Structure 1
């Protein structure tokens, strides 16, 4: 193995690892980074082991992940009857949560949605209900993103080994 190939494999693994972390950290485009790492890994041997079928499959999964991520929070909020301010609050809470560690990433969207809903309607009970519904939607989306990222990695590994 050439030194260049070794560096490319390191880059591939780093992109995939950071991408998997990005499936739970909102500041990182998780499945896009996983896809990038897989493309780098496929490129190393001119797409002979990881061919176009595998790459098309993981690309579709990355797109599905993006759609699921977007829709899960929005649909969770809308289904509960959230105001526009609640959705904005969830987004602000998500960004603020990045700076508060893992617990902040998990719970600041709930706080943001609840505060946004309270500001819109001044109803504490409804605000908490909307906050929880938005949070549940976001958590479902996060679990789906993590699962899709691991399926993408699984397809890559199987293509490499077979």
Structure 2
């Protein structure tokens, strides 16, 4: 296959991966990493070596972990009960299957429902739900930052 087509595929994977950080149907970080790995492979790992790819892989794993812990940390910071934290985690999993709206709001719903079941307090349930949602947004921002760090390291390695 032509190297130009492979570079085009590498860039396309990275761009689609950036969109995937927000869109639940796409594994964003995995696609960004795949594009970077393809770019390193095209060059036979001469400019982007194995150590650089390993550093980028660690950043990718950290970004992937953000999906699972962000909403839970937001709930915990608001003084959530164990039921609210479980609800946030379950809401995150259920939200993945419901599209963009589900990804954004099901952790909030899960945490609020879990908190309400634990303490029967509407105000506390709403506060925990909102804190969960803010945690999720902070996690998404962190994933963007990590993805751009991955891309930056890759580009610097290519250029130098």
Question: Could you tell me the TM-score, scaled by structure 2's length?
Answer: 0.81
Q: 1:17 aligns with which of 15, 25, 42?
A: 15
User: CA 1:131–1:103 in structure 2 vs 1: closer, same or farther (change >3 Å)?
Assistant: same
1:157 positional shift: 1.5
Counterpart residue number, 1:146? 144
Counterpart residue number, 1:130? 128
Comparing 26-35 with 94-103, greater Cα deviation is found at: 94-103
Comparing 129-138 with 11-20, greater Cα deviation is found at: 11-20
Whether 1:34 and 2:32 are equivalent positions in the alignment is yes
Structure 1 distance, partners of 2:68, 2:100, is 20
1:153 positional shift: 0.8
Q: Aligned residue pairs: how many?
A: 160
Structure 1 distance, partners of 2:68, 2:89, is 11
1:103 positional shift: 5.0
Whether 1:64 and 2:62 are equivalent positions in the alignment is yes
- Does the 8 Å contact 1:24/1:146 carry over to 2? no
CA deviations over 1:13-64 (Å, ceiling 9, x no partner): 2321222122223444322221111001110121112122321221121122
User: CA 1:93–1:25 in structure 2 vs 1: closer, same or farther (change >3 Å)?
Assistant: farther
Comparing 67-76 with 54-63, greater Cα deviation is found at: 67-76
Structure 2 distance, partners of 1:22, 1:146, is 10
Structure 2 unaligned spans of 5+ = none
CA deviations over 1:37-94 (Å, ceiling 9, x no partner): 1001110121112122321221121122233443332222223232344334334544
User: CA 1:94–1:68 in structure 2 vs 1: closer, same or farther (change >3 Å)?
Assistant: closer
Computed over aligned residues only, the root mean square deviation of the Cα atoms, in angstroms, reads 2.5
- Structure 1 segment 65-80 matched on structure 2, within 5 A: 65-80=63-78
- Structure 1 segment 3-14 matched on structure 2, within 5 A: 3-14=1-12
Question: Could you tell me the TM-score, scaled by structure 1's length?
Answer: 0.80
Comparing 40-49 with 73-82, greater Cα deviation is found at: 73-82
Structure 1 unaligned spans of 5+ = none
